[in-house]
Every structure is written in C-alpha cells, then in structure tokens.
Structure 1
Amino acid sequence: MDRSRIQLRHLRYFVKIVEAGSFSRAAALIHVAQPALSQQIGELEDALGVSLLERSPRGARATLAGKRLYDEAVEIIKRIEHLPEVVRADSVEMAGVVRIGMSPVLASFLSGPVTHACKAAMPNITLHFVSTTSGQLASRVNAKTLDLALIFDDEFATGLTRHALFRQQLFLISQPDVVAGRDRIGREKLGELPLILPSHPHPAIATALVDPLLAKYSDSVRVMVENDFSATVSAVIAGLGSGILALGDLTHVEGASGLKATPIEPPVFMTAVLIANTDLTPAASAIHVVIRNLITRYLDNGRIVGAVRADH
C-alpha cells in the first residue's frame, strides 16, 4: 500500500485508538472488530513506513511519529468533515427554507445538534422542523410537504431516496428500582413487569417484541398510549409502569433524568434512516450532507448510546 492510498478511515481509526488508549476500547466505541482495526493500523504504518503505536498489555500509546500524525490527522479529519459545509456556506443558492421531519425519539437528542450544525454551516437557510411518527413523516416527504426526514426503518420509504444512518437498540425505560442491580434485561423478564406500550407500535417493534408480549402477557400491560414517546415517558415518570423505546440516553428528555434505560437482551434493533425527495433543492441537498456528517461524527465518538453502524 503506497501513501497515495491512505484512506480517511485509517486516520479516523488511528485517532480513536490514541484517544481511547487501547485497541479494544476503540473497537467497542466505533463498533469495528478488533482484528479489522489492527489490520487498518497495520496498513497505515506500512504506508508511512513508521511505527505509530506502542502496544502493551495495558493498551496502546502513540510513538513520537504517532503523536505527530495524531495532531495532523485531527486537523485533516476536521477539514474533510466540514468541507461540504464550507464550500456551500457562501453560495447565493444556499438560502431559503428547508423542511425537516424527525421522529420524536430521534428529535429528543438530535434536533438541537442538527439545528446548530445546519445554522453554523449555512446561516441563510431557514429550517422548518416537524416531529411526528415515522409513517406520517414519510407520507409528508412523499407528498413533498417535507424535504427530508429522519425516521426509524425503511418500511415507509417507498419511492424515496434512503440513506441508512445507524441501527439503534431498544431499551426498557423504567424507574431505577424496577431494574435494581441489572445492567440488562432479558425479553422473557419483560412480561413480569407492568408495561406501557404504544397502541400502534412501529412495525419493527410490533413484530419483534410487542406482539409476542401481548400474546403471552396481556395482563402485564397497564397502559396503551397513542403518542408512544412523550406519553410513554410521562407514564413512566408517573410510576404507572415501564416503557420500551429506541433510546439509551435520557439526559436530553425533559423530566426523565431520574429514569433508567436498560438494554433488552437479546437485542432488538431499529434502523434510523434519512429519507428525502428525489428532486431536492440545492439548499436541501446541502442540509442532507450536513446531517449525514453530523451523525457520522456522533457514531465515531460513541455519542449515541446503543447505536451501531447501519452496515454492521
């Protein structure tokens, strides 16, 4: 491998290993198998002709050459990540209104960062946000009353462009005493708990989890809610039972700081996708790129609890 074939992923992986302090921790953070991570670093060292990391039972740390590369790599990654935003930011075309939809769960932790990233990159664009169910958002994108939307799964995306962002694990959302001493909960144990379930669950959740629970443990269902996010959280806060959501971090959910998110095992995943019209305006196309870059950075930094890359 010659220097001209150094890939951005080599630099991303190297930076993450240096920051994590070990191959194993870095592999867990970026959801890449450790042997594959070692291979990528080997390719990078071969291309540069130097040793970049000192490996030991305690972890890995950068050599002198590695420290120099780390500083350069961080800057390179930042420049490349922001390149689409930079080249579009001053364009006269980058003005107008872009209409974005998000499912309530995704909006709970992404609406703020998406707004900030889009306004920083293209301050002349006005964003119009809508938050409702994935099915309704897809229908609105199809009807062209929305330009693009972040939803769960691709079941509703017929006839639209689709970009898979990540796969998100489901969690039991409960009062802390419900799962005291547990760092995960088995599916078979869910039926023993008073549950708060959506009356019209997402098909992916219904097939994998809700339908089997209702068939076997119908007496455990305390509340059926129409709005499966805010109503579920409110009911859990009120102590009416526990909910099931594709959300592992409740710090951004108002009033939910005292609740606990416990991963369900074996895991059930939903796929978060970015859907869009096929004839986006230049402004909407630019926002599409900004959102994808933001999600990539979040995944690289392990900032979405319970998320794995869509191709894993």
Structure 2
Amino acid sequence: MNVRQLRYFLQIAELGSVTRAAEVLHIAQPALSRQMRSLEEDLDATLLHRSERGITLTEAGECLRGSAVELLRHFDRVRSEVRDRSGDASGELTIALPPSMSELLAFPVVQRFRTSFPNVLLRVFEGSSGVLDAWSMVAQGRADLAVVASGEPLASLEAFPFIEEPMCLIGPAESGLSMDKPLALEDLVDRPMVAMSRPNVGRMIVESAMAERNLRLNIAMEVNTRQLVLRAVESGLGFTTLPVCSGSDLLERGAISMAPIKDVMISWLLIKGREQGLSVAGQRMQLMLRQVAHEQISGGRWPLARLKGFIPSGTDVARLP
C-alpha cells in the first residue's frame, strides 16, 4: 500500500466510477484497475463493489476511506513542514469559516493570504457551526482550522477564544434601528421575524435568552440562507436577528438598519486538531485571521465586536519560522 494507491482509491470512491476516476487522474483505466487490485491484495480485503450502476464501497472500503483521508492529510502536512524549513510556505491548507463573516473576514483574509503565500493551495469552505459542519471537518481532518460559534468542543479539538459580538435586530433602512440604541428582548416580541432555519446558533442564542423571560419570537418566515434572509429584510418583509458581522456591509451602504440586543452575545472560537500541529501555512493563517479581525474592529467596520485572546502586531506573521 502506498500514497499513490490511496489517492487513486479516494478518487474512485468520490466519483463512483473507475472510468471517470481514470480520466480525472490522467491514467489508463487498466492501469488504475491493476493498482486497486494490488491494494486489495495487500490489505487482503475487497474494497470496491462493482455493479452495472457503478462502484460502491464495501464495509472494508468505508473503513479505509476514513483512515486514508487522515493519513494523506498527515502526509501532506509533513511534506509541507519539511519544505517550509527551506523556503516559503507551501503545500495545502483547508479552512472553514462561517457564512456570516464572508464580507468582513473571509474574503479579506483569502485575498491577503493568496498574495502573501502564493505557493500554498488554499481551500476555503463556508461551514455552519450550528449543524457541526465546521467542527466535524476539523475533527475528521478535512480542515486544518475553522472559526465556529462557541460550544462544547470535541475532545480531539483545541479551541481558542477569537471574537465576541452582540446579536442584533436587523430591519429595513426606514425602520429607524440604531447601533447606538440597544434594544431589550421585549422589543422583539411583536415584530414579524424572518428567521434562519433551525439549527442555527444565532437563533438558538436569541430564543434561549427569550425563553428565560417567557418570551417568544413572532416567526413569519424561515429561510436557510443568510443572503436570502437579509434580502427579505432589506425589501421590508420583516426583521431578523443575526450577529453584527452578518449585516455590517449592508449597514454601511444604508440598505438596512440594525440595533444590538442588550446582553445577548455570540462568541466565536478558532479551532484546530489537538493531535495534529498546524503547518507553517496554518500558523500564518491563524495569525492573519486575528490581524484582519483586529483591523476591521479597530477601523470601525465591525462595531461593538471585541477581539479575544492576544492582539497581533503587524509583524507577527513575518516572525514565524
């Protein structure tokens, strides 16, 4: 069993076809089939179930897929670390970020990272911590680093405080909400709400705070994407509750109005695997996330947010080995 065979196996498992995998891998189909037979003989197990409908994994194949992903990520990380010692950061890096931070954090970080470290293959996923997507991606080794809403971390993960910000009521521009005028939970009760579909961490935080006071949101509509929620609010279909970062871009353009909800906060964490150390590229990304967040907060684009943990200086990234 070797690294190449594992990569071939995972490509077949993903596509469900040896023919299509051979095309993607730029290898002759008979040669790919021979590699898979060799892998099965080496492991003394049947990995692929072949039928007219395509390829599916046997129980042994499913077991190998989970292990192979972790093994290949570890292999790539070791290779990157060795290469990093002799030059600029290289290799691959996968991060998962919440959709609510697309404008304020995700795009500025991606743009800066690509400019600074062009030899790193960067993969970015927008994952919802509400359904544990980002948590599980890091836990399963499919992501190196993620930003998630605060929760009970898995034993295999390390979590570091990142940002704390208020949950806000967001309404149409003409609704007169103001970031200088916090609202009580009671002020939300009679407003028609365009809510994020469950499970959603921000919604859970607000509903939990209201339940403690025997209050309930007046849900008029449920939507499963932040973009559509904000579009509905902007069009005057109702109000919504989201973190500050979700609506800051529209607030700057005067498309919505927004007010913080008193004493209702959401905390964000940076998480990484406990056992696998970050590559140099991962360490630089971790610092860059903090740098960009600090710049957005201190520059007034992320109102009422607070950076938790250390505040990076402008030269922190450069000082990494």
**Same fold (TM > 0.5):** yes
SS in 2 for 1:110: helix
Tell whether the 8 Å contact from 1:249 to 1:261 is kept in structure 2 after alignment.
no
Partner residue of 1:238?
235
Is the aligned partner of 1:289 residue 2:287? yes
Tell whether the 8 Å contact from 1:271 to 1:310 is kept in structure 2 after alignment.
no
SS in 2 for 1:269: strand
SS in 2 for 1:268: strand
Give the structure, 1 or 2, with the largest relative contact order (CA under 8 Å, sep 6 or more).
1
Task: Tell me how far apart the structure 2 counterparts of residues 248 and 286 of structure 1 sit (CA, whole Å).
Answer: 23
Partner residue of 2:181?
183
**What displacement does 1:300 show?**
4.0
Partner residue of 2:97?
102
SS in 1 for 2:124: strand
Task: Tell me how far apart the structure 2 counterparts of residues 132 and 309 of structure 1 sit (CA, whole Å).
Answer: 21
Partner residue of 1:274?
270
Partner residue of 1:309?
307
**Superimposed CA distance per residue, residues 60-116 of structure 1 (whole angstroms, 9 cap, x where no aligned partner):** xxxxxxxxxxxxxxxxxxxxxxxxxxxx99953611221111111122321121112
Is the aligned partner of 1:124 residue 2:119? yes
CA 1:108–1:301 in structure 2 vs 1: closer, same or farther (change >3 Å)?
Answer: closer
Tell whether the 8 Å contact from 1:171 to 1:248 is kept in structure 2 after alignment.
no
CA 1:124–1:254 in structure 2 vs 1: closer, same or farther (change >3 Å)?
Answer: farther
Task: Tell me how far apart the structure 2 counterparts of residues 108 and 249 of structure 1 sit (CA, whole Å).
Answer: 8
**Superimposed CA distance per residue, residues 273-309 of structure 1 (whole angstroms, 9 cap, x where no aligned partner):** 1111231233222222222233334444444212023
Q: Which has the larger radius of gyration?
A: 2
Counterpart of 2:291, as a letter, is N
Counterpart of 1:171, as a letter, is C
- Residue identity (%): 20
TM-score, structure 1 length as denominator? 0.61
**What displacement does 1:272 show?**
1.4
Partner residue of 2:106?
111
Structure 2 residue runs without a partner (length 5+): 1-82, 311-321
Task: Tell me how far apart the structure 2 counterparts of residues 110 and 144 of structure 1 sit (CA, whole Å).
Answer: 23
**What displacement does 1:256 show?**
7.2
RMSD: 3.2
Counterpart of 1:268, as a letter, is V
Partner residue of 1:10?
none
Counterpart of 2:271, as a letter, is I
CA 1:180–1:245 in structure 2 vs 1: closer, same or farther (change >3 Å)?
Answer: closer
CA 1:311–1:121 in structure 2 vs 1: closer, same or farther (change >3 Å)?
Answer: closer
Partner residue of 2:210?
212
SS in 2 for 1:263: strand
Is the aligned partner of 1:195 residue 2:190? no
CA 1:125–1:307 in structure 2 vs 1: closer, same or farther (change >3 Å)?
Answer: same
**What displacement does 1:253 show?**
5.2
Task: Tell me how far apart the structure 2 counterparts of residues 252 and 102 of structure 1 sit (CA, whole Å).
Answer: 17
Counterpart of 1:115, as a letter, is V
**What displacement does 1:149 show?**
0.9
Counterpart of 2:116, as a letter, is A
Partner residue of 1:153?
150
Task: Tell me how far apart the structure 2 counterparts of residues 296 and 254 of structure 1 sit (CA, whole Å).
Answer: 19
**What displacement does 1:119 show?**
2.3
TM-score, structure 2 length as denominator? 0.60
SS in 1 for 2:267: strand
CA 1:90–1:208 in structure 2 vs 1: closer, same or farther (change >3 Å)?
Answer: same
Structure 1 residue runs without a partner (length 5+): 1-87
Task: Tell me how far apart the structure 2 counterparts of residues 184 and 304 of structure 1 sit (CA, whole Å).
Answer: 16
Tell whether the 8 Å contact from 1:248 to 1:262 is kept in structure 2 after alignment.
no
SS in 2 for 1:200: coil
Tell whether the 8 Å contact from 1:174 to 1:259 is kept in structure 2 after alignment.
yes
CA 1:256–1:196 in structure 2 vs 1: closer, same or farther (change >3 Å)?
Answer: farther
CA 1:231–1:159 in structure 2 vs 1: closer, same or farther (change >3 Å)?
Answer: farther
Tell whether the 8 Å contact from 1:96 to 1:124 is kept in structure 2 after alignment.
yes
Task: Tell me how far apart the structure 2 counterparts of residues 120 and 91 of structure 1 sit (CA, whole Å).
Answer: 20
Task: Tell me how far apart the structure 2 counterparts of residues 212 and 260 of structure 1 sit (CA, whole Å).
Answer: 22
Aligned residue pair count: 222
